[in-house]
């Protein structure tokens, strides 16, 4: 357990970050799951309409350090590639 005043404050800040990062990661994963469902159902129009919101969620996660920049680029690239296959 933290003893000093600064360590206690750092522990409180870390708890807040954990909650915030979990929220970002959940939003990103939910967006990926929903667009994956649309792609597997061959709903190209709906998936294309949802693509910007997915990219936004991934970019926000990468910006906040929840995932790395290259991981974000890889996720966006793979989703776009899957979208191109269904036309």
Express each pLDDT in 54-84 by its tens digit.
Answer: 999 999 999 999 999 999 999 999 999 999 9
User: Structural domain tally of the chain?
Assistant: 1
* Residue 38 CB neighbour total at 10 angstroms: 20
- Specify the 3-state DSSP secondary structure of 72: helix
Is pLDDT above 80 for 17?
A: yes
* Banded pLDDT at 1 (limits 50, 70, 90): confident
Provide the pLDDT for residue 2.
Answer: 86
- Could you tell me the pLDDT band of residue 15, with boundaries at 50, 70 and 90? very high
What domain range includes position 76?
Answer: 5-86
- Please give the C-alpha separations between residue 12 and each of 3, 5, 17, 66, in angstroms, as whole numbers: 13, 11, 9, 18
The predicted structure's pLDDT at residue 23: 96
* 1 vs 33, residue with greater confidence: 33
**Stronger pLDDT, 67 or 2, i.e. the higher one:** 67
Q: What CATH number did the domain enclosing 77 receive?
A: 1.20.58.110
């Amino acid at each position: 357990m933290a003893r000093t005043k600064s360590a206690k404050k750092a522990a409180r800040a870390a708890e807040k970050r954990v909650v915030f990062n979990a929220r970002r990661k959940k939003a990103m994963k939910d967006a990926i799951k929903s667009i994956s469902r649309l792609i597997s159902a061959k709903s190209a129009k709906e998936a294309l309409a949802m693509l910007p919101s997915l990219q936004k969620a991934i970019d926000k996660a990468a910006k906040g350090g929840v995932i790395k920049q290259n991981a974000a680029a890889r996720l966006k690239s793979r989703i776009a590639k899957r979208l191109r296959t269904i036309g």
